[in-house]
Amino acid sequence: MSRRRRKVLPKEPVRCVVETLSHDGRGIARQDGKAQFVDGALPGEIVMAKMVTSRSKFDELRTVDVLESAPERQDTPCEFADLCGGCSLQHMSGDAQIRFKEDTLREHFAHFGGIEPEEWIEPLRSQDTLGYRRKARLGVRYVKARESVLVGFREKRSTFLTDIDRCAVLDPRIGDRIQPLRELIGSMDAYDRIPQVEVACGDEVAAMVFRNMDDLSDGDRDKLLAFGQAHELHIYLQPKGPDTVHRIWPEVSKPRDERLTYQLKEFDLTMEFHPMDFTQVNAGLNRTMVHRAVEWLDIQPGERVLDLFCGLGNFTLPLARKGGRVVGVEGDDAMVVRGRENAELNGLDNVDFHGADLHGDFTGQSWAKEGFDKILIDPPRSGAEEICKYLTAFGANRIVYVSCNPATLARDAGVMVRNGYRLVRAGVMDMFPHTTHVESIALFERDPAKG
């Protein structure tokens, strides 16, 4: 049996004339009719790029030199940006990044939903585009040839970890400690048995969760404790699945001790969360987003409000502060418990949390039978197509949809419009500066003309 030979890639960089930008932030050029996807290149630029992979219909390249630059190009604020996969748009100005995300949302609405909002809102932007990221999963790998440990994100379109000693977009309590973290793991007996470190930051405290594949030696535990004390970090271990995560520094006397917190001061709320819970990565933008969602729903006294995919109550509790009766529904039972804990912590008795399968029809549930005046929905990347098909059963006159995927938002918006709602306004939110991630928000109102 003959073995197919791997195509030999040219060693010398090739000249690329970049025409446009792909949805994943790569420049698109063409050579003899074949598409070239070029990392680090912008529309209108001429660059020299090194071939990374070559396929039958397209090539993938990485920019090594810019011969003619676009006005949107800027110096990258991080020295590792060209290689690290944690960011993909640092070479693009902030205004250009926002325009790119707006264009992406517009194109998806047109392509997947065949609709357009009556009003495009000004983008919700981050005050801080560096040091904003409070949640991340960092890979860890021991490189035998170098006898050293790498900690960070994967290289662009690669399984290799990027060799970094700091991260400009992570919260400085984490981002400035990458090198000490590398040295810590490299000094441990388990230096090659810790595949990842989850990081989570609250307003007051930051935490690291070490995935330890084997029981740690006493010496390794002591080193972790000393690291936590020296850098004022909470230290957790995860010997097996997520349910095994536990804090080893500082010592825990009761389960609630393992919580971090963030404030939503506009609503006089303190939100508790476990480091492994889902929370928004950008605290500043989250506050702006919550304000906008509550403003758009415009809760009136006596109204019933439904919050779907409510998590630990990030929207539910601010809505409850506005009065009425709020029902938060979540598919993860642990988050239902967390939501109830946060309601109790903040003295709210006009909110209920329920667990439910949010992939099917739940209109027959006891908590749903009275209907709702307003609805907020914040689904995962897969969206909520099935749910949108029967939201009309609740009779809500206003719905706010918060999305982390413009394709599924556009698809679901089409379903909503076909089922009697108008897409009143929509816009992007810059939750993840320097990346192609598009977070957006949309307002739907019942269309009287459709009954």
Give the annotated binding-site residues for [4Fe-4S] cluster: 78, 84, 87, 167
CA distances, 76 to each of 21, 40, 181, 429 (Å): 18, 10, 24, 22
CA dihedral 272, 274, 278, 282 (to 10 degrees): 60
The amino acid that residue 421 corresponds to is Y
Which residue, 256, 258, 166, 260, is CA-closest to 206? 260
Catalytic residue among 201, 310, 388, 404: 404
- Distance CA(331)–CA(309), nearest Å, equals 7
Query: Are the C-beta atoms of residues 361 and 385 closer than 8 Å to each other?
Result: no
Sign of the torsion angle spanned by Cα atoms 121, 127, 131, 132: negative
- Distance CA(25)–CA(48), nearest Å, equals 17
Query: Are the C-beta atoms of residues 47 and 66 closer than 8 Å to each other?
Result: yes
- Distance CA(323)–CA(344), nearest Å, equals 16
Q: Pinpoint the alpha helices (H) of 10-145.
A: 94-108
Q: Residues, the chain, total? A: 451
**In Å, how far from its chain's centre is CA 388?**
23
User: Which tokens hold the place of 190?
Assistant: 């388990």
> Is the peptide bond between 448 and the residue preceding it cis, with omega within 30 degrees of 0?
no
Query: Are the C-beta atoms of residues 390 and 359 closer than 8 Å to each other?
Result: no
The amino acid that residue 325 corresponds to is R
Binding residues for S-adenosyl-L-methionine: 280, 309, 314, 330, 357, 378
3-state secondary structure at position 185: helix
- Active site annotation includes 404: yes
CA distances, 381 to each of 117, 120, 344, 407, 440 (Å): 21, 22, 30, 9, 12
Sign of the torsion angle spanned by Cα atoms 235, 282, 440, 358: positive
Binding residues: 78, 84, 87, 167, 280, 309, 314, 330, 357, 378
Query: Are the C-beta atoms of residues 367 and 340 closer than 8 Å to each other?
Result: no
195: CB partners within 8 A, 6+ apart: 139, 140, 141, 211, 213
- Distance CA(316)–CA(310), nearest Å, equals 7
Query: Are the C-beta atoms of residues 430 and 125 closer than 8 Å to each other?
Result: yes
Q: Which residues are catalytic?
A: 404
